[in-house]
Amino acid sequence: MLVELAVRNLGVIAEARVPLGPGLVALTGETGAGKTMLVEALHLLRGGRPDASRVRAGCEAAEVEGLFVVGDTEWVLRRVVPASGRSRAYLNGTLATAGELGDLADELLELHGQHAQQGLLRPSRQRDALDRFAGIDRGELRRAREQVRGLTSELDSLGGDERARLREVDLLRYQLDEIERMAPRPGEEEELDREEDLLAGALAHREAGGAAVELVTGEGGAADLLARAAAALQGRAPFAAASSALARLSVEAGEVARELRDLAEGIEPDEERLAAVRERRHALVELRRKYGDDLDEVLAHAEATASRLAELEGLSERREEVRARLADARERLAEVSRTVGAARRTAAPELARRLEAELGALALGGAAVEVVVDDTEELPGAGEAVEVLLAANPGAPAGPLSRVASGGELSRVMLALRLVLSGGPPTMVFDEVDAGVGGAAATAVGEALAGLAADRQVLVVTHLPQVAAAADQQLLVAKSADGAATVTTVEALGADARVVELSRMLSGSPESATARRHARELLAVADRRRADR
């Protein structure tokens, strides 16, 4: 339970340290005294969104700290909200995120306020209440839906426009066939360039080769002149080396001439081959114009095209596989939906009966409740459309809570739900759950809250003396002003002080003897009921 709450510089609260006991704890005080700020403080401990405007004027930051004790374990949750900048959260003195704080607080603390009553008007909240009552775990249903959605999306991505896919397949096949028919090789264009040069100048090459051979080996040619020069120097010691070199050059010149002759004789004009080479080169240029700057890029395009074509041609098989999986997933979803829907439809009448019984104890004895479970188009069979219908008075037609329930009736329906639903955290907070309630209904609400507090701590912000009298502990939230500042204090009331506060709540006159007698009577009745529990 929440053992102590400390609040500093939050709204009108300069500093308050509030010790809290077990059972039902009532927070009372004049309107505007700051009771809502205490609820706001607990909201912050639950990781709620901070509002810098709630920081007390002239202060740098607001701070909220709560000590929770569960068994032998203590938890200290702290939240700091600066006037500007990001808020900070602490868990047992260690920095934490607001989300981490909220996750723990969800196990320790539950808030019910005016916003919670309005939230009850939403069909999703009414469905959640039925699921909680019936002990339905929607996890399997959620997982089955996600699987169907995922497979549907996958199938859509595989399918698309079938005509567009076939057009793409045809285009890819044409491109791949065109490249494969040409069968280009890396470096082929360079080879063809050299061959075209050779064939285009075949006659000129042969003539040039023949002329060169004649100049080297003919009479008076280079080889002859070199040999004659070597002979002129032969036997002359100073020129021995030069004579040998000239002799070698003459021999080499003859060898070169023979190679030239062989090469020249090997060059044959071939107009047919030349035309084929030129045609091949032109075809490769066209291929590059379509598919890449060079043949390496053309080959890379062919590889990518083959991969994409294989992917598209394999889509049919993959699509059939996904279709089969999707059919299984849909069947599984339908099965889970039927199971959940059956559980909801079975539990709905019992929930309605239990709510009627609790509303009867909350001074709505003539109320009739119906919990309607219908299907949605998205999840047939699951009973996703849940609505609580209320006829607050005998003979009145039942209708949705949003149309037929007054503020007080809505408050009591919400409290009845909380009484019916099992489980929950060790501390619950009700912020003016008794709004719009008076007379016998107020007494019934006080008794219900006291009953709820039998096995947990319940904090209630109330303006009703009947509810406050039912509490095990009463805290007075009071506001005072000294002309310079307004300060809110929180005081735990003893027996005599409770009589005074209840008198104020009853009549507005704390000194009224009649009001005090009535207040003592309320406390005595509450004590007797507490003893009977």
DSSP string, 465-517: HHHHHT-SEEEEEEEEE-SS-EEEEEEE--HHHHHHHHHHHHHS-TT-HHHHH
- Structural contact between residues 151 and 288, judged by C-beta atoms closer than 8 angstroms: no
Predicted structure pTM score: 0.61
Closest CA to 175 of 314, 316, 307, 294: 307
Q: Which residues touch 500 (CB under 8 Å, ≥6 apart)? A: 510, 516, 519
pLDDT band at 472 (very low <50, low <70, confident <90, very high): very high
User: In the predicted model, what is the mean pLDDT of residues 164-192?
Assistant: 87
User: Which has the higher per-residue pLDDT, 296 or 423?
Assistant: 296
Distance CA 236, CA 14 (A): 126
Distance CA 119, CA 114 (A): 9
How many other C-beta atoms can be found within 10 angstroms of the C-beta atom of residue 137? 11
Structure tokens at 459: 């904090």
Most confident of 127-136, 274-283, 326-335, 519-528: 326-335
Distance CA 76, CA 96 (A): 12
Q: Which residues touch 187 (CB under 8 Å, ≥6 apart)? A: 295
Three-state DSSP state, 296 = helix
Q: Any idea what DSSP says for residue 381?
A: T
In this predicted structure, what is the pLDDT of residue 445? 85
What pairs with residue 486 in β-bridges? 481
What pairs with residue 70 in β-bridges? 73
In this predicted structure, what is the pLDDT of residue 310? 85
Most confident of 27-41, 43-57, 72-86: 72-86
Distances, alpha carbon 457 to alpha carbons 21, 25, 34, 136, 465, in Å:
8, 8, 21, 26, 19
Structure tokens at 287: 């291929």
- Burial level of 367, CB count in 10 A (0-12/13-18/19+)? buried
Tell whether the model's pLDDT for residue 258 goes beyond 70: yes
What pairs with residue 18 in β-bridges? 5
Structure tokens at 71: 């068994």
First to last CA, the chain: 21
Structure tokens at 321: 């596989």
Could you give the angle at which helices 407-420 and 315-361 cross, rounded to 10 degrees? Answer: 110
Tell whether the model's pLDDT for residue 125 goes beyond 90: no
Structure tokens at 371: 């919990």
Strands (E), 271-411: 368-374, 385-391, 399-400
- Structural contact between residues 500 and 50, judged by C-beta atoms closer than 8 angstroms: no
Distances, alpha carbon 452 to alpha carbons 64, 407, 417, in Å:
27, 21, 11
Tell whether the model's pLDDT for residue 46 goes beyond 80: yes
Tell whether the model's pLDDT for residue 482 goes beyond 80: no
Structure tokens at 437: 């309630």
Distance CA 528, CA 502 (A): 18
Q: Which residues touch 9 (CB under 8 Å, ≥6 apart)? A: 15, 55, 56, 59, 61, 62, 63
Percent of the chain whose pLDDT exceeds 90: 34
User: Which has the higher per-residue pLDDT, 532 or 249?
Assistant: 249
User: In the predicted model, what is the mean pLDDT of residues 358-382?
Assistant: 88
Tell whether the model's pLDDT for residue 7 goes beyond 80: yes
- Structural contact between residues 366 and 456, judged by C-beta atoms closer than 8 angstroms: no
User: Which has the higher per-residue pLDDT, 231 or 411?
Assistant: 231
